[in-house]
Amino acid sequence: MRDFRDAKLMARTLKAELAKANLEITHSRALELVARQMGFEHWNILAARIAANERPQADIAIEAPIPIFRIFDVDKAMEFYRDFLGFSVDFEHRFGENFPLYCQVSRGTCVLHLSEHAGDASPGAKAFSWMRGIKTFHAELTAKDYRYLKPGLENAPWGLQMTVTDPFSNRIAFCEKL
């Protein structure tokens, strides 16, 4: 089935078929007729719709970035991200035995990459993540009584925020809009 993107071809076909019946129309008249058949007031409106649909940026979709945090000890990283924050380990990769770890952890739509590779990231990075239910999340973390971190909640102009720091000085600011 044809749609508005085939309008020029439809206009040429219409003009050719009418010519077979000895009914001559201009190409621009054929374009106007096709535009009306497609439900547009005139060709210029349909042409604008076709142009908007053909823009290259329509095929571009940039997604949320995934921060990479540098880690130096896998056990400490798992204790913090998996056991304390409640993230799941989505994948782990090593190029061989006794090679550095590269992995992905996530909780909900918050996704992080953790890397032991020296060139992937610098320790002390910070990520910001919007969320819902920050008071419940704070209560969950407080109940775990994690030895190395007792996060607090703070009122910021942009929302209620809780910042956590991993054993490698990387920070995540979780924030709920007020």
User: 81-136, pLDDT tens digit by residue?
Assistant: 999 999 999 999 999 999 999 999 999 999 999 999 999 999 999 999 999 999 99
Residues 45 and 106 in one domain: no
Residues 121 and 172 in one domain: yes
Residues 79 and 144 in one domain: yes
Residues 74 and 145 in one domain: yes
pLDDT tens across 17-63, in order?
888 888 888 888 888 888 888 788 888 888 887 777 665 655 788 88
Tell me which residue range forms the domain holding 14: 4-59
Q: Is 8 left (phi over 0), alpha (psi -120 to 50) or beta?
A: alpha
Residues 93 and 40 in one domain: no
Q: Give the domain-ending residue among 59, 82, 103.
A: 59
Residues 101 and 43 in one domain: no
- pLDDT on residue 131: 96
Residues 39 and 80 in one domain: no
Residues 50 and 136 in one domain: no
Let me know the angle formed at the C-alpha of 170 by 152 and 111, rounded to the nearest 5 degrees: 90
Residues 27 and 112 in one domain: no
Residues 29 and 117 in one domain: no
Residues 51 and 16 in one domain: yes
Q: Are 70 and 125 in contact (CB under 8 A)?
A: yes
d(CA 137, CA 89): 19
Token pair listed for 54: 């053909």
d(CA 24, CA 41): 22
Residues 50 and 72 in one domain: no
**Counted domains in the chain:** 2
Q: Are 35 and 43 in contact (CB under 8 A)?
A: yes
pTM > 0.95: yes or no: no
